[in-house]
A and B are shown apart, each in its own frame.
Chain A
Amino acid sequence: MSVVLETRSLCKRFGALTVADHIDFQLQAGARHALIGPNGAGKTTFVNMLTGRLAPTSGRIFLGGEDVSTLSQRERVRRGLGRTFQINSLFRGLSVVDNVALAVAERRGMGGRLFRSASSYADVRDEAMALLASLGLAEDAQVNLANLAYGKQRLVEIAITLAMKPRVLLLDEPAAGVPSIETHRILDVLDALPAEIGILIIEHDMDLVFRFAKRITILVNGATLLEGTPEEIAADPRVREVYLGERHD
C-alpha cells in the first residue's frame, strides 16, 4: 500500500507552549487509522495543520507524495484532502440537500459561475441527493438543516466531505455529541465508506475506535507515544497510564 498522507517532524508552538512536537505520521491508502489521546493532546491542532487551517511552526506535510506544507486550505482540498469538524460546521440556514450541493459544485469547479441559475445544474443536485440517499438521509433532503436532529447533522458533515471525493478523509470526532444509541448509525456509515479512501479518525469513544480502526496512534502532550494495531494498543500498559494515570501500590 502507498502512503497518501505523511508528516515529517511536524511542530506547532504557541509561544512557550508546544502543542505538536516533531510528529512523524504516515497514513496508507485505504487505511482505517485512529488518532487518540487525552484532552489537550493536540489532536485537533494536528488535523488543523494537515488541512492548512493552521500553519506549522516547522516540519513538512506530504499529500500523495507532494509537499503541501505551504499550500492553502483550498489547494489541499483540490488535491483530495477532506475533513469533518468536531463541532458541526454546516450551513444552518440552508436545506440539507443544498448543504451537500454547495460542496459538489465546488468540487466540479462551478461554484463561481454567474448568470445561469444554480437549480438548472440538475446533475449537481442529483449527485447531492444520491450521496444523501447512500447515508440514509434522502427523506431529510428538503428539511432546513437547523431543524434536523443532531445525530443526522453529524451525517450531513460526513456527506459534505464525501461530496469532495477525497483521497484522505479526516474525521474529527464524528460521534461527538451523538447519543450512544445513535452511535451505531455513524459507525454503519463509516464502515460503508469507500475502501480506497484513507481515513484518519479522531475519537474519544473507544468502542467506536476499536471497532473501526485497523491501526491506532496515541498522541500525548503533542508527541506520538505509540502506534500499532488495536490489539497492540490495548495490551500496552502505557496506554492505561495515559488514560487512567500511573499506578501507585
Chain B
Amino acid sequence: MRHNGSYSASPRIGLIEWLPWLLGVAAFFYLPEYLSLGARILVYILYALSVDLVVGYAGIVTLGHSAFFGLGAYAAGILSAKVGVTDPMLQMLVAIASCALLGAATGALILRTRGLTLLMLTLAIAAILLEVANKATSITGGADGLSGITVAPIFGLFRFDLFGKTAYWMCLVVLFICWWITRRIIYSPFGASLVGIRENHVRMASIGSPVSMRLLTAYTLSAMLAGVAGALLTQTNQFVGLNVLSFESAGELLVMLILGGVGRIYGAFVGPIVYMIAQDQLAKQFPEYWSLGIGVLLVAIVLFARGGLLGIVDLVVAHAKRGKSAFAGKEAP
C-alpha cells in the first residue's frame, strides 16, 4: 500500500487505486443529500495530499500549510468579490500562481533550517498571513469573512447549483487531476530523490544532489496544490473565513494525515474521509464532546498503529500472506 517513488517500483496504477474514484462517482448517485459534505471531504483530501508530498515524501515538517490553503482561498475569493473576475478557472490559476510565489519565497528562507526551528517558522508564516487577513478588512472582510463571491459557470456550461452537484463534480475532477500529477511526481526520479532526502539528506548531498533546491521545488509544488484546494473551498462555499488560515486548520489537517497514514498517497484519502465522517457523526450524537472522540481515535492510532489506518491494512495483509505461505509450506511434500 505504500507508494514510494523508486527505480524498482512499477508506476502502473493498480486496480485498487481506482476504488476511491469509483466510490467518488458512486457517492454522487447514491448519497445525493451528502454532496456538500462530500465536496468538503474532496477539498480536504487534496489539501492532505499537498501536505503528504512535503511531510510524507520530502520529510519537511510543517504546521503552516494553512498559509497556502488560505492564500488560495482568499485569492479566488478576492478576485471574485473585489475584482469581479468570476471565471473559476482564472480564479484557480491566480490562486496557484500566488501560492507558488509565496511557497518559493518563504521556502527559500525557511528550508535552510530543520526540525523544531522549521516547524516554528512554518507556523510563523501562517500566523503572519492570518493577521494580515484579519487586519486588511477592506480586502478580506477581516473577522466577518469575505462574502459576495460569485462563480461563473465552468467553461460557460456548468452552473454552480444549490444542491452542490456541480461543485462536487468539479472537486472530484480537480482532485483526480492533482492526484494524477502528484502520483507522477512521486514515481519520478525527483520523487525518488525526495525519499532519499527524507531518509538521509547528508548522504544525498554527498552524492551531489542539490538537496535545498529539491526541497524548495517540492515545497512550492505542494503550496500550489494547497492553493488549488483553497480555491476549490471558496468556489464551493462562496465564502471565505479566517479559519482557513488558522493553526487549527493546519493542525486538523495533520491529524487527518496521521490518521490515514503519512507518505502513502492514499493516507491523504482515508484520513480526511474517516476524520470528517467521524466528526459529522460524533457532532450529531455528542455536540459538545465530539472532539474527545477524535482525540481518542488519534491516541489509539499513534500508540498502536504508527503507519495510520493504512498501516493497519498493511499489517493485516502481511500477516495474511505469512500465514498463507506457512500453510503452503506445510502442504509441500
Contacts and interface: CB of A to CB of B under 8 A. Distances in A.
Interface string B188-213: 11111101100110111111111001
Interface stretch (B1-9, B29-37, B160-168, B316-324): B1-9
Nearest to B211: A74
B112 interface: no
Contact of B195 (A53, A94, A124): A94
A102 B5 contact: no
A115 B185 contact: yes
B212 to A, nearest CB: 10
B185 A118 contact: no
Given A89-B200, A92-B199, A94-B199, A118 B5 contact: yes
A157 to B, nearest CB: 9
Contacts, number: 132
B205 A114 contact: no
Nearest to B9: A119
Interface in B146-174: none
A247 interface: no
Interface residues of B, number: 33
A73 B134 CA distance: 44
A107 B202 CA distance: 16
A203 interface: no
Given A114-B188, A115-B184, A119-B10, A107 B203 contact: no
B208 A116 contact: no
Contact of B7 (A51, A83, A105, A164): A105
A93 B199 contact: yes
Interface in A93-108: 93-95, 97-98, 101-103, 105-107
A112 B193 contact: yes
A121 interface: yes
A117 B207 contact: no
Interface centre among B6, B7, B189, B202 (most CB of A within 10 A): B7
Interface string A181-209: 00000000000000000000000000000
Q: Nearest 10 CB-CB pairs, A to B?
A: A77-B208, A117-B11, A101-B7, A91-B199, A103-B207, A117-B187, A98-B6, A118-B192, A89-B203, A111-B193
Interface of B: 4-11, 184-185, 187-193, 195-196, 199-200, 202-210, 213-214, 217
Given A93-B195, A102-B196, A118-B189, 8 more contacts: A77-B208, A78-B208, A93-B199, A101-B7, A102-B192, A107-B207, A115-B188, A119-B11
